[in-house]
Amino acid sequence: MTAKQVGKRILQIVVVLFGISFLTFSLMYLAPGDPVRAMYASAGSVPDDAVIEQTRKELGLDRPFLAQYGSWLAGVFRGDMGTSLALKKPVAAVMSARLWPTLKLALFSLFLVVVFSFPLGMLTAVHHNKAADYIVRFLTFIGNALPGFWVALILMYFFALKLGWLPVMSTGTGFSDLVLPSVTLAVSMTAVYTRQVRAAVLEELHRGYVWGGRLRGLKKNNILWRHVLKNAMLPLVTLLGLSFGSLLGGTAVVEVIFSYPGLGSMAVQAVANRDYPLIQGYVLWIALIYMVINLLVDISYEYLNPGTKERLRG
């Protein structure tokens, strides 16, 4: 991709972020529920209407919609994403504390997915329609059908309660706190990817270069790991990038179950508290990360497949 194309994409990202921020802002404005009451309720007090009115004025929530959005936007440009209503801390600070744990969780899940699904997919493709293929395909079928929260509870029951190897609840964001949530997230994705890898490798195995290579005396494993895998990887890299994005945004359920202090559980709390600035910040962040990952995937795709580059250059 040329610098110009990258620049264009970055501009697109900025435009989309504007749209997203406006949309979430208006959705929250229209949604039922009162942030001020929720704020006091979470603090355990039931104030009278005058106090609520007063607080509302202090927070600027009585102003017209566009004025509220405008001042929020102006703040964002100054690097100030507002202050969390419930936590009374700057949104940026709250999120940056929560970002890294979720990033760790997503990366480790993705690592597990790749480590398990690629060898399994290759295995099933090479032993196409043999026993190993049927067994693994059956398992992926089950793995894909299991709901995440159920897997989480089962893992918790065996590995945390029965065996006591890992903590039931996360006490921090260390490796032992990471394992169960990551495995939970990885189970269904591994199932999906095993099938994807299998299909991609199977397609490659039928190409002429595979048997051509064998005729010239290339060893089977050599062809498999160096040529077939590399070519089969291409379509999967895009998918992996998208999956990483959806992992970052999709950790909420697992984080809540394991009380893991990541962005997902933060977002759930923020919604429960009607913590508008925090929700707004979260949505913006996830959108940004998702689009940046997409851009990176597109750029990396070109390095993996020089063919696309040549085609673009015409």
Partner 1 sequence: MCEAGKKTPVLEAKQVTKRFPAAHGQTLTACENVTLSLYAGQTLGIVGESGGGKSTFLRLLVGLEQPDSGEVLYQGTKISGLKGKALRDARRHIQMVFQDPSEAFHPRMKVRDIICEPLLNYHIIRRQEVPEKAVELLRMVELPEEFAGRYPKDLSGGQRQRVGIARALALEPDVLLCDEATSALDVAVQKSIIELLVRLQREKNIAIAFVCHDLALVRQLSHRTAVMYLGHVVELMDGRDVAARSLHPYTRAMLGSVFDLNMDFTKEIPVLKGETPGPLHVPEGCPFRDRCGFVRKECAGHMPPLEEKEKNHFCACFAV
**What are the residues binding partner 1 (CB under 8 A)?**
208-209, 211-212, 214-219, 306
Rounded to the nearest 5 degrees, what angle is found at the Cα of 55, between the Cα atoms of 53 and 57?
70
CB of 216 to partner 1, least distance (A): 4
8 Å CB contact between 260 and 268: no
Residues whose CB is less than 8 angstroms from the CB of residue 143 and which lie 6 or more positions away in sequence, other chains included? 187, 188, 190, 191
CB of 218 to partner 1, least distance (A): 5
Two tokens at 305? Answer: 């497949």
CB of 217 to partner 1, least distance (A): 4
Q: Which residue's CB is nearer to partner 1, number 37 or number 227?
A: 227
Q: Which residue's CB is nearer to partner 1, number 164 or number 217?
A: 217
Q: Which residue's CB is nearer to partner 1, number 80 or number 133?
A: 133
CB of 240 to partner 1, least distance (A): 24
CB of 102 to partner 1, least distance (A): 39
Q: Which residues face 83 on adjacent strands?
A: 90
Residue ranges of alpha helices (H) inside the chain are 3-30, 35-43, 49-59, 65-77, 91-126, 131-145, 148-155, 175-205, 208-215, 220-222, 229-249, 252-257, 263-272, 276-304, 306-313
Nearest Cα neighbor of 196 from 154, 144, 257 is 144
CB of 207 to partner 1, least distance (A): 9
CB of 211 to partner 1, least distance (A): 5
Indicate the burial class of 7 (C-beta count within 10 angstroms; 0-12, 13-18, 19 or more). exposed
Q: Which residue's CB is nearer to partner 1, number 89 or number 214?
A: 214
Rounded to the nearest 5 degrees, what angle is found at the Cα of 298, between the Cα atoms of 8 and 181?
120
Q: Which residue's CB is nearer to partner 1, number 57 or number 214?
A: 214
d(CA 57, CA 80): 20
8 Å CB contact between 85 and 59: yes
Q: Which residue's CB is nearer to partner 1, number 18 or number 209?
A: 209
Nearest Cα neighbor of 182 from 254, 237, 248, 242 is 254
Rg (CA), the chain: 24
CB of 230 to partner 1, least distance (A): 11
Q: Which residue's CB is nearer to partner 1, number 45 or number 129?
A: 129
> Residue 60 has what DSSP assignment?
T
Q: Which residue's CB is nearer to partner 1, number 89 or number 219?
A: 219
